[in-house]
Copies of this chain bind each other. A is one copy, B any other.
């Protein structure tokens, strides 16, 4: 390791590290239509459709805790995460590869559970297991999934296409997966060392489902197709609305205004947030793990997208770049969005 000079990774900030590492690479093959910096890479294989490729890594102790995350659900979720990346390009996933680093504490039965979840998700999303790699791990479980998809060339949707005055739309509601995680963490602490204890989850089944069995929004992509709408930009909300909206603004060279009262937050999020002394809006903006889609469409599409049967909400609009990205509160004040947390200005 380098001992002459040491810059901590944290100093590069939210977007800094990936940019710093990938910027020196120069694309050399014409087949690479879009490289790093979107939800998936776009590859022109010479076919009518583009091929999409995304990759996600899940690490034990960082992305999941096996004391409360069942392996079957973990396998299912890992596939959903990849599918959501492909949908965010306005495409359809077709196949995955699964690499796992397996710690010695796991048995064959544990891996059967993990793969039964992977299989269930493959069934639900109509995709194939194309390959993978299995390694011993001396530490925790590592799962790396690469997802392949396809998209018609004229429909591929990037983070970079949002236009001035476009509407900002999101699917379903936000913050529920994060509160589901907080609920699981609370029960882990409460039940620590108590044998055969029953956790208290009544009334919060929705939050658990959003954390343990998320849905990738295939039906939204199909509805966009049915309505003949190609969004001007789209992104998966895996890291939270604030962070992802900042990605779109940066790449589309625009600003944004989103309205606090328009952000859809489930009743259960409000209830548990109050119990746990968490701000539900912070959960919705920064909680992440929702795997909902955010997309932008021209103003003229408003009526069409409001009629989607899948709870698409218009939460704001695209502005001039100089205005930055902000949350507008009911009293009209603007709060600048930050990748983590937000602060009044």
With an 8 Å Cβ cutoff, the count of chain A residues facing the other chain is: 87
Q: A101-B57, A119-B25 are in contact. Are A36 and B132 (CB under 8 A)?
A: yes
Residue of B nearest to A144 (CB): B144
Copies in the complex: 2
* Per-position binary interface string of chain A over residues 1-43, scored 1 when its CB falls under 8 Å from any chain B CB and 0 otherwise: 1101111110110000110111011011101100111101101
Residues of B within 8 A of A111 (CB): 9, 17, 21
Q: With the chains together, A37 CA to B29 CA distance in Å?
A: 28
A9-B102, A47-B47, A128-B32 known; A56-B95 Cβ under 8 A:
no
A interface secondary structure, majority: mixed
Contacts of A57 in B (CB 8 A): 99-101, 133, 135, 142, 144
| Interchain CA distance A29-B130 in the complex, whole Å | 11
Cross-chain contact A41 with B130 (CB below 8 angstroms): yes
Residues from chain B with a CB closer than 8 A to the CB of A102 are: 9
Residue in B4, B22, B61 whose CB lies within 8 Å of A129: B22
Q: Is A108 an interface residue (CB 8 A)?
A: yes
Q: Are B20 and A144 in contact (CB under 8 A)?
A: no
A205 to B8, CA, bound (A): 34
* B106 engages A1 (CB within 8 Å): yes
Of the residues B2, B35, B115, B128, contact of A28 by C-beta under 8 Å: B128
Residues 42-61 of A at the B interface (beta carbon under 8 Å): 43, 45-49, 51, 53-59, 61
Question: What 1/0 mask marks residues of chain A from 220 to 247 whose CB sits below 8 Å from any chain B CB?
Answer: 0000000000000000000000000000
